[in-house]
Amino acid sequence: MKNLWSKNELIIATNGLDPSLNFLKNTDGVFGISIDDRTLKKGDLFIALKGNNFDGHEFIESALSKGAAGLIVSDKKLAKKYGALLVKNTTDTLTKIGKFARDRFEGITIALTGSSGKTSTNHILSSSLKKYGPTHNTQGNNNNIIGVSLTLSRLPSYFKYCVLELGMNNPGEIKRLTKIVKPDIALITNVSNSHFQNFKNEEEIALAKSEIFLGLNKNGIAILNSDNAWCDFLLNKAKKLGVKTHLFGYSKKSDTKILKITDDKKGTKVYFDNKIKLNLNYLNTTQALNAIATISIVKQLKLNLEKTFKAIANIEPLPGRGQIIKINFNQDHKTFVIDDSYNANPDSMRAALSNFYSLKTKFKNYQTILIIGDMLELGRISKKSHKELLPVIKKINPHILITLGHYTNYLCKELSPYVNCNPYYSIETLLEDIKKILKPRQLILIKGSNGTGLWKLVPFFKNHLEEHNAAWFFIKLYRLFPTFKSF
């Protein structure tokens, strides 16, 4: 295994001091970077971050016991005691290491931002690019300053592609991130009113997203959604900075033009450009837009599209982002649970409900259950945004509507004359009651902001799947071999 960082590189990147003269004394370098002793691997460098509510210096012994090759600390006594590299601020140092890693990287860097679709596009794009060469990408929700710096610090210099998500909650955050990332390609998936509580209006959100252009390398290109209401605004911002653009969507001005998207039980079909057909076996119509964004980037990289088509065809959604959990009850009676529990904003909620309605028309003999939680971080538009969901839910006309939270409770009150409504304020209570609701031949959607805790339902469904699969296995085994006895 190649060293990720040499001792000399780390000292140069951090401008740190080695007061004991024992930093990485018994090794040539480190294989990884860690800021969490719980997930640290043998040979990693442990950086003891210090925040308002935690201090990584308290976990040095744990990190060493798990095989940390070296330490970076901001305490001189600890640096001498453990042979660590001493820096003034470990969080700033992580960013310095990230910058150094980006500057030594010789491959292509692609940055993604947007109000929704970042992680799914990252998943589709990085999975596709791996067909063309070693690809590094954001894992989990590492899209803030610490997350992006950590992801870059783990970037091998010899890889071919790097895909990074840039997130924001406040103005100026994207600007800071893009200056570190220095992307060759920047994608804005869309602009909508997510995180509205920290912005005056959507224009402020669009302006903050456009900051990604500020870090683009010379001859860099911006990929934009031509159907988004803020496309022209973003185009003007890019034009003023001399940034080249590539548009994708249904609009006539698109460089990658969608002709139509259709879905059925066998998946989704996307027709684009000169009637090129893309088959998506597991992704829905919303995810199809992320697939087209990926194709736009691959086109700009001038790579063979056939490899991308083959890769995308069999990509499955990530957990919490449209993954389908299939529960086989006895006699092969199935229930399908659509896990879209990771997060929610008005656009993604409407898209999820629209996809659910399409599925309902194809699963006519199934009981439909909507489980939706509050959309958080919407500030003063919270009530209005939830109220706007009423006609969509009425159109779906689910057999059961389950809500979790204050704002979705309002939906229950309004829809109770038309729909069987079950409002909840506590995820724990819902977890108890869901056991009584789950039955064969159901189509269930789980959608809500992460903070509602709806994601806690998913392990229940997955455990139920395992229990039923195990039970049905032994039933079938017994029927084949009546004398079979477990022991």
User: Domain with 45 in it: what CATH number?
Assistant: 3.40.1390.10
Per-residue pLDDT at 487 = 33
Same domain, 137 and 62: no
Residue 477 has pLDDT above 50, yes or no: no
Per-residue pLDDT at 380 = 87
Q: What mean pLDDT, rounded, does the chain reach?
A: 91
DSSP designation for 100:
H
**pLDDT-above-90 percentage for the chain:** 78
Mean pLDDT of 126-133: 97
Pairwise pLDDT comparison (241 vs 267), residue with the higher score = 241
Q: What angle do CA 137, 139, 141 make, to 5 degrees?
A: 125
- Which of 174-188, 307-321, 460-474 has the least mean pLDDT? 460-474
| Last residue within a domain, chosen from 68, 93, 118 | 93
Same domain, 428 and 283: no
Residue 278 has pLDDT above 50, yes or no: yes
79-126 pLDDT, tens digit per residue, is 999 999 999 999 999 999 999 999 999 999 999 999 999 999 999 999
Same domain, 63 and 123: no
In a domain? residue 485? no
DSSP designation for 58:
G
Return d(Cα 430, Cα 460) in angstroms, integer. 11
Return d(Cα 100, Cα 115) in angstroms, integer. 29
| pLDDT band for position 297 (cuts 50, 70, 90) | very high
In a domain? residue 409? yes
Beta carbons of 314 and 298 less than 8 angstroms apart? no
Per-residue pLDDT at 265 = 67
Return d(Cα 74, Cα 437) in angstroms, integer. 53
In a domain? residue 398? yes
Beta carbons of 139 and 151 less than 8 angstroms apart? yes
Return d(Cα 228, Cα 388) in angstroms, integer. 19
Residue 142 has pLDDT above 70, yes or no: yes
Same domain, 41 and 115: no
Same domain, 223 and 353: no
Per-residue pLDDT at 377 = 86
Its domain, for residue 334, covers 323-473
Mean pLDDT of 324-334: 81
Same domain, 147 and 224: yes
pTM here is 0.87
Per-residue pLDDT at 473 = 38
Question: What is the SS3 assignment for 389?
Answer: coil
Which CATH number belongs to the domain containing residue 203 in this structure?
3.40.1190.10
In a domain? residue 131? yes
Return d(Cα 109, Cα 86) in angstroms, integer. 31
Same domain, 170 and 193: yes
| pLDDT band for position 434 (cuts 50, 70, 90) | very high
In a domain? residue 56? yes
- Which of 85-94, 111-120, 236-245, 328-337 has the least mean pLDDT? 328-337
- Which of 31-35, 265-269, 296-300, 336-340 has the least mean pLDDT? 265-269
Beta carbons of 409 and 423 less than 8 angstroms apart? yes
**Distances from the Cα of 5 to the Cαs of 2, 81, 208, 355, in angstroms?**
9, 23, 34, 46
Mean pLDDT of 413-424: 93
Per-residue pLDDT at 482 = 42
Same domain, 374 and 307: no
Question: What is the SS3 assignment for 285?
Answer: helix
209-233 pLDDT, tens digit per residue, is 999 999 999 999 999 999 999 999 9
Which CATH number belongs to the domain containing residue 330 in this structure?
3.90.190.20
| pLDDT band for position 331 (cuts 50, 70, 90) | low
Same domain, 142 and 228: yes
Domain tally, the chain = 3
Per-residue pLDDT at 14 = 98
In terms of average pLDDT, the best of 193-197, 207-211, 378-382 is 207-211
Same domain, 79 and 138: no
Residue 478 has pLDDT above 80, yes or no: no
Per-residue pLDDT at 362 = 84
In a domain? residue 486? no
Mean pLDDT of 273-283: 92
Residue 181 has pLDDT above 90, yes or no: yes
| pLDDT band for position 480 (cuts 50, 70, 90) | very low
Per-residue pLDDT at 361 = 85
Return d(Cα 246, Cα 265) in angstroms, integer. 32
Return d(Cα 322, Cα 349) in angstroms, integer. 12
58-69 pLDDT, tens digit per residue, is 999 999 999 999
| Last residue within a domain, chosen from 93, 113, 136 | 93
Return d(Cα 205, Cα 233) in angstroms, integer. 11
8-60 pLDDT, tens digit per residue, is 999 999 999 999 999 999 888 999 999 999 999 999 999 999 988 899 999 99
In a domain? residue 223? yes
In a domain? residue 478? no
Same domain, 292 and 335: no
Beta carbons of 369 and 445 less than 8 angstroms apart? yes
| Last residue within a domain, chosen from 70, 93, 116 | 93
Helices 305-313 + 118-129 axis angle, to 10: 120
Same domain, 73 and 132: no
Per-residue pLDDT at 195 = 63
Per-residue pLDDT at 19 = 97
